[in-house]
Structure 1
Amino acid sequence: MSLHLHAGKWRFLEQERAARYVDHYERQREKGQKKLAPVTTCRQFATAKAILDRLNAGQKGVILADDVGLGKTTVAAFCALVVAGSGGAVRILAPNEMMARRWRQELEVHLPAMSSFAAHLDLSHARRRLNVDIKQLRPGTIAVSTHQKVHRLNCDLLIVDEAHRTRSEDSNLGQRVVRQGRAIGNVLILTATPFSIDPKDFARLLKRVGGERAAKSMQEYSLRLADLWRGRHADSPKETADRLVSAARAAVEAMRPYVIRHGIDDLPAAEKKVFGAIEHVDASDSMEVSAPLLEAMLRADRALQLAQRCGAWQMKRRNDPRYHVAVGKLHADLTEVVATIAQAEWCNDSAARIAAHHSNGALDRLRTLDAHPKIAGTANMTRAIVDEGEKVLIFCDHHQPATELAARVAASLKWPAKRRSGSVFTEEAWSACWQQIFADELEVASNTGDSGQATRRLKHYIAWLMSDGVRSQIETWLEMAGAGSAKADLAKLLEKKRARGKRACDSIANHAVDLYKQMIDHESGSTRAILLQGDVARLPGSTLSRVAAVCKPGDEAFAAALPGVFFSAQPDTVLAVFNSPFGPDVLVTTDSLSEGVDLHRFCRHLIHHELDPSPIRTVQRNGRLRRVNCWAARTGQPIRVHYPSLRGTRDERLVEVMRHRIMQFDLLLGGVRGDVDAEDTINEPSTVGGILEYARKRLGAVRLGIV
C-alpha cells in the first residue's frame, strides 16, 4: 500500500540540505537538549528519504536495522513528522514507557526546527503526542504508546521500535499486526540486531513488510550457517566458505529493498569520528579464583548433585552463572539445601546427609571470603578508573550480582566525611553563588502559572547542588583547577571553570543549569515530583557515596544500610544525572538500561561484570556509550569496554566465548549464530572461525545500506 503522498513533501531531506537543518535546530535548541552532528544528520536525512521513497512507491514496509547508536529513532522521527505533516496519522510503539518517553522527547526537540525548516508541512496536530490507546487518530497526529497498551493499530504509518521483542508469532503485538493488517497503511520496523534472532522469527518480520521472497533467501543462508556450526559440511573449508558467501550474497540482494542497515565501522571516516574509537579490554590478568572459593564451588556442585538425586533440590541447574560472579546466590541456594535436608523425611537418606555435609562445608568456606574475587577485582578496576577522573558504567545480567557489586564499590568509593567542615567556601557563599547563577531561572519560575511549585523545585535543586556529595565533587574540580582561595568570587569560578577538568566540557555553572532543565522536563514526572517534595536524598549523588545502582536489592534493610545507592524505582532521574558531569561516578545496572537510553555524554568506560548469554545484549550494552557526540569523541579518547573474568574457571571460558561471538557478529548483519569454541582461532582455515574469517573477507563491502 502506498503512502499516497506527493514526493515533494520530503524533498527537503536531500543530503546537501542537512547542514541547513542543523542550523535551524541549533537556533531553536534549548539548553540541555542534545546537539546534532551535521555529518550524521546528512546520513539520517538520506535514510529517511529512502524509506519514504520505498513506502510511497507501494512497498508495505521497511526494516531499519542500523547499528546501535546510529540514530534509528531520529530517522523514524523524520519519517513520522513528514507523514503527519502531510495529513497522515502515525502510531509509534515502544517496548516500555521509559522508551516511549524518549520517543516523545525526540519528537519534541525536532518539531520546532522542522516546523520552520519545512514550512510546507502542517505540524500543528503532530504536537499531540499521546500515550493512551486512541481508537481513531486524527489526520496529522502522532500517537506514542507501548507495545502492550495499544489495541487499535489503524493508522497510515505504524512504527515499531525494538521489534525483536515482538518478533514471535505468539507475541500479542505480532498477533494484532496480523489481524489488523488491513487497517495499517505502512510499517517501519526498527531493530539493531535482525540476524541474531531466530531465522523463522526474522522471516516473519520480513513478511510483515512485504518481503516474502527475501524471507526464503534469508532462511537458506541461515540453514547453511547452522550446518556450519553443527559440523554438517562434507566440503573442504574453502568450499564451505564459498557456499556460505554465495548464500549470503543472495540473501543480501533479496533483502535489499526491504532492509536498510549501516554499521558504525562501515561509515566514512568523517562520520565515524563523531562516534569515537572503541577498544575491547581483556581484564582477566588481575583476577584469579581463590582456594576457598574453588573448594566452595566444588563442594556445592557435589552437594547439589546429591540433593537433586534425593529430591531435596528441585532445580535442574546446579551450576548457575551467578555462582561465578558473586557469592549471594550460591550462599542462598546452599542455605536452602541445608534447611530442606534438616527436615525429618531425609534423616535416613545417605545422599541427603552427604549433601548437607558438603553444603555446610561450602558455606564455611564462603564465610571466610571478604568478597567474591570477581566482585573485588571489578571494584578495584572501577576505583582505578574513577581515580583518573572518569565515570564508569557496569552491567550485570541479574539483580543479585548487581546488588552485591554496587555495595562493594560503594564501600570503596566515598567522598571524605569531613570535607564540608574543611571547605574553603562557607554555606552562605555557596547559597549566594547558586542564587546568582540561577537568577534568570528564579525569575522565570516566579512568573509561571504554578510559580509556587516552580520556585520550590528550583530551591530544592539548589539544595541538591549544596548536598555533601555534589558539593564535595565540585570542590574537587575547583581544586584541580587551582581555585582554592576563600576570597575568590565563587559564582565567577563556577561560570569559568570546566567540570571534570576536561576542555571539551562547558562550565560548571552552565552544566548545572542544563541539568536542572532536563530534570523539570514535563516527561520526567518522577524527577519533577522529587524536586517538588524536597526529598534531596532521593536524588543520586546527594550522599557521600559515589555509586548509583538501578537494580532490586531484594532486602529493604540491606538497601537502607546503603543510603543514596539504590534507585530502581526512578531510572529517569539516574539517567539524567549520570548523563551530566555531576553525581555518581559509577552506575551499576542490569539490562533494564541496555536498550533505548543514552549513557554516553560523560562516560567512556563500560565493564561487563556479568554477561548475558546472547551477543545481542552485549552489543546493545556497548551501544549505550558509542553514540553521536559521545564523551570519547569529544575528548579524543577511546571508548574502553572491559571484560573481567576469573582465570582458570568456567567464567573465563564464558567471557572468551562471548568475545569470539562479538568478533564474528557482523558477518551479514550480525548473522553469526551458535557457540564459537574458545580454542578455535581465526588463523586456522579448518576451524569454524577460519571459515567465517575467510567468508568475511570474501563478502567485503556487501552491505544493506542505501543504494
Structure 2
Amino acid sequence: MTWPVDTRDLGERLDLRNDRVSNEDALRQQRTIAELLRRLGNQPGIVLADEVGMGKTFVALGVAMTAALADRGKRPVVIMVPASLHEKWPRDFKVFVDRAIKCAVDKTLRAAPVASALDFFRLIDSESSNRPQIIFLKHGAFHVQNIDQWVRLALIKRAISGIHLGEKRNALPRFAADLLRTKSSYNDPELFAKLLRISNREWRHVINEHYRTRPELQLSDAPIPEAIQKVLESSDIDVAELRNCLRELPARESASINDRLERARRAINDALRTMWPSTLAKARFRSPLLILDEAHHLKNPATRLASLFVTDDAREDARTITGALDGSFERMMFLTATPFQLGHHELLNVIGRFRGVAWKTLPHHTREQFEAELEALGKILDRAQHRAAELDKRWSSLRQDDLVGSDGQEVSIDEWWQGGAAANLQERIQMVMRSFQQAQVAMKEAEAPLRKWVVRHLRDPMLPGTNVPRRSRHSGRALSLSLGGDGGLPVGDEALLPFLLAARAQAVVVREGIKAGRATFAEGLASSYEAFLETRRNGSPHEDEAQELRATAPGQLVNSYVEKLTRALPDVAAYAQHPKIAPLIARVLDLWRHREKVVVFCHYRETGRAIVRHLSAALERQLWSDATLRFGLEHEAIRKAVADFGSRFDTDGGMRQPLHNELVRRLEPYAELSSEDRNHIQEVVRRFVRTPLFVARYFDIHARSGEDALQEAFGTRDLSGISLGEKIDSFLKFIAQRCTPPERQDYLDALSRMQPGIRGETLRENDDDLSQMRGISVMPNIRLANGLVKQETRQRLMLAFNTPFFPEVLVASSVLAEGVDLHLNCRHVIHHDLSWNPSTLEQRTGRVDRIGAIAETVRKPIEVFLPYVGGTQDEKQFRVVMDRERWFQVLMGADYRTDESFTEKAAERIPLPATAAKALAFDLSVKSDPDAKDCNPLPTVTSVSTIELPRALRDVTLNSSKDVEGGVQAS
C-alpha cells in the first residue's frame, strides 16, 4: 500500500519556480500538490478543478511523481488523457522532470505513452525494473477497436485448434494478411505459418528471429499479453461462427474469396467483442493512483469510459457497467476546468467514480461511509441548487425601469445593487433580495462538504505583481477602429435588407416556439455571408459538432423569408464588407501592422475560410501600400525592390553575413545548444526575415550598410513595446534553456516546415483546409486550423505560433479550444463567433491566458474582443452568454437551451452584478496558511450576519415572515 504519502521533504525534492511561471503561481501549485497528497491519504479521490491555464498538468505530475516514487511495489501511476492530448502530456512530463524535479535520484523517473489496452497489458506484464513508473493512457485505449493483428491471429489459431481443415490449413497463411487487414510490414505468409504452429508464448522469439536483419521490426514485449492468453486458454470464448467461416475459405483463390474473407473478418470482430469483457476482467493489476484528465467525460456513468471504474450493483440501477478497472487503483484524482458546467447530479456522478478504488487500502474510510457522505452531499447540493434556481427565477422578474437610484434616475445594475436595491419597497424587489440571501446561505452551507472532494483556484484578475488587469474586454462595436460608444456593430445600408429579412424570419421562429428550434440562418448571417449560404446548403455549418442543432423543419413562411434573404445578398465581390467581417479584417490588419500576433476563433468552417481569404487579400494590399509610402517607389518597383533586398540574405556579400554575425553573438550565451542546433536556428531565422512580410515592415531597403539596416530592424518595436531583437532573444533563450532537447527539435522542425512564401496553386501542404481556395493567394503568415486540418499540422501551427515567426494570424475553430498553448507571443484573441455556452469562450481565451503568458512579461492586458452585430441574432446571443457567464458558478448545470423562444426571453434579462455573482460562488481553493485544514467541514452558516453582504442587503432581515416560497420560515 502506498498511502499515506510522506510529504515532509516535498519542498526539497520538487520546486516549480522557474522562468516559465511566476513565484506566486509556483507556490500555489506547490501548496496544492502537498494538500492533494494529504487528502488522498484519507479519502478515495479528489477533483482538481482549477480554471483554464493555471497549471493543472504540472500539479498532477507533481502528485503522480510523489505517488509513483513512494510505491513500495514499484507499480505505475496511470494518467488517462484524451486522444488529442496524448502527445502533449509526455512532452510536459519531460519539461517537468527537467525543470521541476530537484533531486537527482527522482530525475530517473520514467514515463511512457500507451495508445491501447494491449500495449498497457504488455507493460504490466514486464519486469518492474523495465516498467515505466508513469503510464500515459488514452481515454479510448480499452475499446475493442484497438486490438491489433497479433491478437486477431491468436484468435484464428484458437478457432482452428482441433478441427480438420486438410489442405486449407496450409492455405490459411496466404489469406492471413487479408483477414487481419494488416498493412504493416508484419504480413509475411511464411511468418504466419510459423506462428500458427507454435505456442503463443513463443511468438516474440519467432517474430524477432524472422526479422533478425530488420531491427525496426523487432518486438520488445510479448505480442499476446498474459490477460489475453488466459482468455484464449479458457472456455470464456465462443469461436463457433469463426470456425465455420474459416472452414469456408478455399484452398486456392476463387471468385467468391472476397465475400468469404469479409464474412470471416466479421466473425473475428464478433468473437473479439465477446472475449474482450472477459479479458478485461482477468487483467487484474494494481496501481497506487489513477489521474484522469478532462473528467467531465465521466458525468454519464453509462458511458464506456465511466463504466470502467465501477461495477454497480443491483441496488443502484440496471446500467450496463463493465467495471474492468474496479479495484485496480488505490486512489483516483480527476482533472477538469469546468466542474460547474455539469449539473450537480453529474458532478456527483464524477465523484461517484471513486467507488472503484481498492477500499482495503483505506482502513479508516469504508465504501459505506463514502456512499453516506455522497448522499449527504447530494442533499445539500440539492438545497443549494434549489435556492439558486429560485433566485434565478426571481431575478428574471427584474425590469430595466426597476434600476433607479434614490433620486429616481436610472442607474447601472452595479450601482443599483450596491446602493438602492434594498430600499425599494416593492414586494417583488424584496422577494429578490430575500431570495439572494437564502441562496447565499445555501451556497455557503454546500461549500463546506464540497471542499473535501473538489479543489478549485480562480485566476487573479490582476497580472502578477502589478495593478494591471489581466484581461481587457472589448464588446460589440469596440472591435471597430473608427466607431466609438457602446452597442453592437452597425449594419450598413448595403446589408440592411438581408438582415431585416433575417429578423422577420427569426420572429416567425420565435412565435412558433420550442418546436421550431434555433434560427441557424440568422446565426450564419451574423457570422459571414459565406456561413449563411452554408446553412442553406447542408444545415451543418458548425465546426464544433456539439454545437450543431437537431434537425428541425422550418415552416413555409420562414423559408419564404430566407429565400428572399438569399436573393438579397450583395454581390460576392462585396462579401468582405459584411458588418462583422469588415471591422474584423481592419482590426487584425491594424494589430499586424503594429507587429502583434492575433488568434481569431470562429465556429463556422466557411467563416474561417472566408476570414483567411478576405484577410489575405487585404493584408497583401496593405503590405504594398505601406511599403510604397515608406520607400517612395511605385507599386511594381516596390515589389521588385523588396524581393531584391530579401535575396541579399541568400548571398554572403549582402545581408547574410551581418545576420549570421548578429545571431552568432546572440547565441553565444547558450552553451546548451549544439552546433547543429545553432545552424538550424540560424536557417530558421534567415528564411523568415528574408520574406517580403518581414523586409517591408522591418528593414530600410535603401540602407547602404547591412549592419545598420539589421540593427534598425532589430530595434523596431511592437504594440506591446517589444523589439524584434528582443523577440528573437526571447526565442533563443526559450529554445536553449526552457525546452528539453525533444521539445526544441519539435519547435525547429515546425518552423522549418512553415511556408514563408504566398500559397496558392503551388500549395505544398495538402493537409491544410484550403481545398476551396485553389488559385487564391493565401498569405503565408495567416493560417487556418479547424477539424479538417490534420492533427499533425495543427500541432505544427500551434508550435510555430508560439514563436516570433509565422503564422502571425491564426484563424481557429473549437479544435484549438482545449489543451493548446498559444500564449508565448500572443495577447490578442477575437471571438468572431460567440457561443451559447460561456465555458466555451473561457476555454478559447484560456489558450492565450496561461501561466507564463506574454501578457505577464510585458505587463499589459490580454485583449479579448467579443464583437456582435447590433439589433440581430448576434446581439441576442451576446446578451444571453454574458448573463450566463455571471450565473455560471452559481447554477450548476444551468439551462443552456438555444431555441429561439427561450433565448429571446433570456436576452432581455437584467445581468447579475459581478459582486453578487462573487458572493454566491464557491470558494474551494487551498489556503496559503500551511496550517489550514481545507478538507475539514466549515461551521454551518445559520445567520446571514456571518456573510459579507452588499450594502443594499444589510438592512433586509433574513428571517422574513414570508419566504420566497410563500410562508416557509427562511432560517
Specify the TM-score bucket, using the shorter chain as the normaliser: 0.7 to 0.9
209-218 or 570-579: which moved more? 209-218
> Of 247, 268, 282, which aligns to 2:475?
282
Matched AA of 2:586: N
> Of 678, 681, 705, which aligns to 1:486?
705
* CA positional deviation for 1:660: 2.6
**Are positions 1:461 and 2:678 aligned together?**
no
- Does the CA-based 8 Å contact 1:615-1:661 persist in structure 2? yes
- Does the CA-based 8 Å contact 2:602-2:812 persist in structure 1? yes
Q: 1:154 to 1:593 in 2, by over 3 A?
A: farther
* CA positional deviation for 1:444: 11
Pairing of 1:520-559 with structure 2 (within 5 A): 522=742, 538-539=753-754, 541-543=756-758, 553=769, 555-558=771-774
Q: 1:659 to 1:65 in 2, by over 3 A?
A: same
Residue 39 of structure 1 is matched in structure 2 by: 24
Residue 253 of structure 1 is matched in structure 2 by: 448
Residue 341 of structure 1 is matched in structure 2 by: none
* CA positional deviation for 1:499: 8.1
* CA positional deviation for 1:642: 1.0
Q: 1:389 to 1:550 in 2, by over 3 A?
A: farther
Residue 79 of structure 1 is matched in structure 2 by: 63
* CA positional deviation for 1:608: 0.9
- Deviations 1:310-348 (CA, angstroms, capped at 9, x unpaired): xxxx998553522211111322454689xxxxxxxxxxx
Which residues of structure 1 form unaligned runs of 5+? 27-33, 308-313, 338-349, 683-688
> Partner of 1:182: helix, strand, or coil?
coil
- Does the CA-based 8 Å contact 2:140-2:305 persist in structure 1? yes
* CA positional deviation for 1:49: 0.6
Give, in whole Å, the separation in 2 of the partners of 1:41 and 1:196: 27
Residue 167 of structure 1 is matched in structure 2 by: 299
Give, in whole Å, the separation in 2 of the partners of 1:352 and 1:671: 32
Give, in whole Å, the separation in 2 of the partners of 1:275 and 1:75: 27
> Partner of 1:584: helix, strand, or coil?
coil
> Of 316, 319, 329, which aligns to 2:521?
319
- Does the CA-based 8 Å contact 2:344-2:893 persist in structure 1? no
Give, in whole Å, the separation in 2 of the partners of 1:375 and 1:368: 11
Residue 638 of structure 1 is matched in structure 2 by: 861
Give, in whole Å, the separation in 2 of the partners of 1:487 and 1:119: 48
* CA positional deviation for 1:72: 0.7
* CA positional deviation for 1:376: 0.9
Normalization by structure 2: what TM-score?
0.58
Give, in whole Å, the separation in 2 of the partners of 1:373 and 1:55: 54
- Does the CA-based 8 Å contact 2:646-2:695 persist in structure 1? no
**Among the aligned pairs, what percent are the same residue?**
20
Task: Give aligned pairs, total.
Answer: 643
Residue 92 of structure 1 is matched in structure 2 by: 79
146-155 or 318-327: which moved more? 146-155
**Are positions 1:655 and 2:640 aligned together?**
no
Residue 310 of structure 1 is matched in structure 2 by: none
* CA positional deviation for 1:677: 3.7
Q: 1:558 to 1:663 in 2, by over 3 A?
A: farther
Larger Rg: 2
- Does the CA-based 8 Å contact 1:93-1:146 persist in structure 2? yes
* CA positional deviation for 1:644: 0.8
Q: 1:55 to 1:369 in 2, by over 3 A?
A: closer
Residue 46 of structure 2 is matched in structure 1 by: 62
* CA positional deviation for 1:189: 0.8
* CA positional deviation for 1:577: 1.9
Give, in whole Å, the separation in 2 of the partners of 1:581 and 1:96: 29
Residue 721 of structure 2 is matched in structure 1 by: 502
Matched AA of 1:84: A
**Are positions 1:620 and 2:832 aligned together?**
no
Matched AA of 2:824: R
Give, in whole Å, the separation in 1 of the partners of 2:287 and 2:831: 41
- Does the CA-based 8 Å contact 1:392-1:605 persist in structure 2? yes
- Does the CA-based 8 Å contact 1:403-1:552 persist in structure 2? no
- Does the CA-based 8 Å contact 1:55-1:186 persist in structure 2? yes
Residue 694 of structure 2 is matched in structure 1 by: 473
- Deviations 1:150-182 (CA, angstroms, capped at 9, x unpaired): 567953211111222442224321122331221
Residue 241 of structure 1 is matched in structure 2 by: 436
- Does the CA-based 8 Å contact 1:55-1:62 persist in structure 2? yes
Give, in whole Å, the separation in 1 of the partners of 2:391 and 2:505: 38
**Are positions 1:107 and 2:93 aligned together?**
yes
Give, in whole Å, the separation in 1 of the partners of 2:559 and 2:26: 67
**Are positions 1:13 and 2:5 aligned together?**
no
Q: 1:130 to 1:523 in 2, by over 3 A?
A: farther
Normalization by structure 1: what TM-score?
0.77
Matched AA of 1:402: G
Residue 606 of structure 2 is matched in structure 1 by: 400
Matched AA of 1:387: R
Residue 650 of structure 2 is matched in structure 1 by: 427
- Deviations 1:228-253 (CA, angstroms, capped at 9, x unpaired): 44559998112211221122112211
Matched AA of 1:101: E
> Partner of 1:265: helix, strand, or coil?
coil
Q: 1:119 to 1:378 in 2, by over 3 A?
A: same
Give, in whole Å, the separation in 1 of the partners of 2:141 and 2:775: 32
> Partner of 1:595: helix, strand, or coil?
coil
Residue 331 of structure 1 is matched in structure 2 by: 533
Residue 347 of structure 1 is matched in structure 2 by: none
Give, in whole Å, the separation in 1 of the partners of 2:44 and 2:588: 49
* CA positional deviation for 1:616: 0.8
**Are positions 1:362 and 2:560 aligned together?**
no
Give, in whole Å, the separation in 1 of the partners of 2:471 and 2:854: 12
Residue 571 of structure 1 is matched in structure 2 by: 794
Matched AA of 1:555: S
Residue 340 of structure 1 is matched in structure 2 by: none
622-631 or 499-508: which moved more? 499-508
Q: 1:552 to 1:177 in 2, by over 3 A?
A: farther
- Does the CA-based 8 Å contact 1:494-1:508 persist in structure 2? no
Q: 1:90 to 1:336 in 2, by over 3 A?
A: closer
Matched AA of 1:562: V
**Are positions 1:224 and 2:384 aligned together?**
no
378-387 or 522-531: which moved more? 522-531
- Deviations 1:567-612 (CA, angstroms, capped at 9, x unpaired): 5331122112211222233211111111122211221111111012
- Does the CA-based 8 Å contact 2:476-2:869 persist in structure 1? no
Q: Please provide the CA RMSD for this pair.
A: 4.5
- Deviations 1:660-700 (CA, angstroms, capped at 9, x unpaired): 333443448x8766578444445xxxxxx36x854644x58
> Of 809, 812, 816, which aligns to 1:589?
812
Matched AA of 1:21: D
- Does the CA-based 8 Å contact 2:75-2:133 persist in structure 1? yes
* CA positional deviation for 1:522: 3.6
Which residues of structure 2 form unaligned runs of 5+? 144-279, 311-322, 355-369, 398-427, 484-488, 510-515, 540-555, 625-638, 897-902, 928-933, 935-971
> Partner of 2:617: helix, strand, or coil?
helix
Give, in whole Å, the separation in 2 of the partners of 1:5 and 1:598: 34
* CA positional deviation for 1:56: 1.8
* CA positional deviation for 1:105: 1.8
* CA positional deviation for 1:75: 0.5
Give, in whole Å, the separation in 2 of the partners of 1:305 and 1:238: 34
